Homo-oligomer: A and B are copies of this chain.
Amino acid sequence: MLLKTMVLPIKSGRPIVVLNEADAYELGVFEGDRVQVRYEKRRGIFTVQIAKEIVPQGHLGTTDFVLKGLALEAGQEVEVFPARKPKSVEFIKKKIGGKKLDQEEIRTIVFDIVNNALSEIEIASFVISSMLRGMDFDEIEWLTRAMIESGERLHFDRGTVVDKHSIGGVPGNKISLIIVPTVASAGLLIPKTASRAITSASGTADTMEVLADVNLSIEEIREITEKVGGVIAWGGATNIAPADDRIIRIEHPLSLDPRPQLLASVMAKKGAIGARHVVIDIPYGEGAKIESGEMARALANDFIELGKRLGLEVVCALTYGGQPIGRAVGPALEAKEALKAMEERRGSASLLEKSLGIAGLLFETTGIANDGYSYAKKIFESGKTLEKFREIIAAQGGNEKIKADEIPVGDKTFTITSQRNGIAKKINLQAVNEIARSAGAPKDKGAGVYIHKKRGDVVKAGDPLLTIYAEKEWKLDNAIEVARAEAPIVVSGMILEVYGRSR
């Protein structure tokens, strides 16, 4: 069928092709089926959407992105045919059927995901069947390798490239802001690509963005790393392991985190930037993503095994995930807390012990120091961490002279106080997250939560428990509403349980 191309005013990361319902009926294609679009020798296969009025009969609605890909202009006539499903659909069905996939099959699926050849339903089927049918280490290795190969990669001519990754789920985890400069100032290369928050109040990229530009190309990441030794960039601005972003978009609605995809996602990013030594931070505890030590250790073993297969030395740190790291949650509040600690060369014990502990593990695994923690602490206390952090900020186009106290935070605040004497028995991590997000984080950089009382702290009636920061009054109101409904910090009497008392 001959159709005239037209450009739709739609933004989408996926190639969109829209048929009028009469043309679709004529072609015998349903929503979600595929068509081949041909013009001279050029051809592309696309999943079809069907519209009534937005695309008139005889037209093919599409986007600039699609036209460019086929080197076409709007208004040109193209041939449109029903097309078969890509081979990878058969491979996904094979996994649904419980069979092991071979390397070529996994590669085909990953490249089809990257090339937008698979629909959301098909990717969801792949993710859920990998989760329920499982993947063995061969398959996970092939998945990781395909993710690396289907995206951009970094290569450095000299130096030792290291990296760290924290499994998510613990609010306030701004440790990369301290680890990266500490490690870089010892001469290691650490081109850290970080994520933005999806369900949390601030990702490392959101926090770093308060101080510098994080939307760096892979070329910029390479240059800055060569120049100052470290960088903290948003991975989403690069094309590193792009399959992962598509898979995460599918996992998000059901908050799924299948083991094969989790392992491949983390390790593909490390492999793609050329890291040889990696520390994985696995926080566990009540309310964290991973609740038991047993699960955390199993995951650690998986990472180590996968690392071996990929030629990466992996060290896993099981960390305490039962409460926030430091006291600040939200982009500006976290950047402020991290910078303040560097300025004062001291800070919250949970923040410094964790940051310097992980930097220390990188020093040990690369052979730089036998007692890595002490080595990292010395760097931090000498002021070299701050100095290097300022270099990194400058290299990423930020104001390297900024002081922690100058970082603006939301001016609409509300403090929740304790109604009773006792101790802070539990911090509800989900609730802290939700309050900070309702207050506007991560979009409103100044929004977030400051926690006054952490687990085990003695609390008197009237003591502040946490302060909510927001940039907008209506968001502050939303956050207060959530805080009232959720009890983010539970205060109980000093006597928690009593045994053997007669009635």
Contact = CB atoms under 8 A, between A and B. Distances in A.
Interface of A: 8-11, 21, 25-26, 28, 30-33, 50-54, 81, 85, 89, 92-93, 96, 98, 119-122, 124-125, 128-129, 131-133, 198, 249-250, 252-256, 437, 440, 442-443, 478
Given A21-B11, A198-B30, A250 B52 contact: no
Nearest to A20: B11
Contacts of A442: 28
B122 A52 contact: no
Contact of A129 (B121, B132, B198, B437): B132
26 contacts: A8-B54, A9-B51, A9-B53, A10-B52, A10-B54, A11-B21, A11-B50, A11-B51, A11-B52, A11-B53, A31-B249, A32-B249, A89-B254, A93-B255, A96-B132, A96-B256, A119-B253, A120-B121, A120-B124, A121-B254, A125-B128, A128-B128, A128-B129, A128-B132, A129-B132, A132-B132
A279 B223 CA distance: 73
| Residue of A11, A33, A92 most packed against chain B (CB within 10 A) | A11
Contacts of A443: 25-26, 28
A128 B92 CA distance: 12
B254 A52 contact: no
A412 to B, nearest CB: 16
A198 B121 CA distance: 17
B96 A54 contact: no
Given A11-B21, A11-B53, A132-B132, 15 more contacts: A9-B51, A9-B52, A10-B51, A26-B443, A32-B249, A93-B255, A96-B128, A120-B120, A121-B121, A122-B254, A124-B124, A124-B125, A125-B256, A128-B128, A128-B129
Contacts of A133: 132
Contacts of A132: 96, 98, 128-129, 132-133
How many copies of this chain sit in the oligomeric assembly?
2
A176 B129 CA distance: 37
Nearest to A25: B443
Contacts of A21: 11
Contacts of A50: 11
A272 B121 CA distance: 29
A38 to B, nearest CB: 14
A254 B26 contact: no
Contacts of A9: 51-54
Nearest to A199: B30
A129 B129 CA distance: 8
Contacts of A128: 96, 124-125, 128-129, 132
Nearest to A53: B9
A26 B474 CA distance: 12
A53 B252 CA distance: 25
Contacts of A120: 120-121, 124
A32 B31 CA distance: 18
8 nearest A-B residue pairs (beta carbon): A11-B52, A9-B53, A132-B132, A124-B124, A9-B54, A121-B124, A128-B128, A32-B253
A436 to B, nearest CB: 11
B30 A252 contact: yes
Contacts of A92: 254
A49 to B, nearest CB: 9
Contacts of A96: 128, 131-132, 254, 256
Contacts of A53: 9-11
Nearest to A123: B121
A121 B249 CA distance: 10
Contacts of A478: 81
A120 B98 CA distance: 23
Nearest to A122: B253
A369 to B, nearest CB: 42
Nearest to A98: B132
A242 to B, nearest CB: 17
A125 B93 CA distance: 14
A437 B440 CA distance: 53
Contacts of A121: 120-121, 124, 250, 253-254
A80 B241 CA distance: 35
A125 B252 CA distance: 12
A468 to B, nearest CB: 15
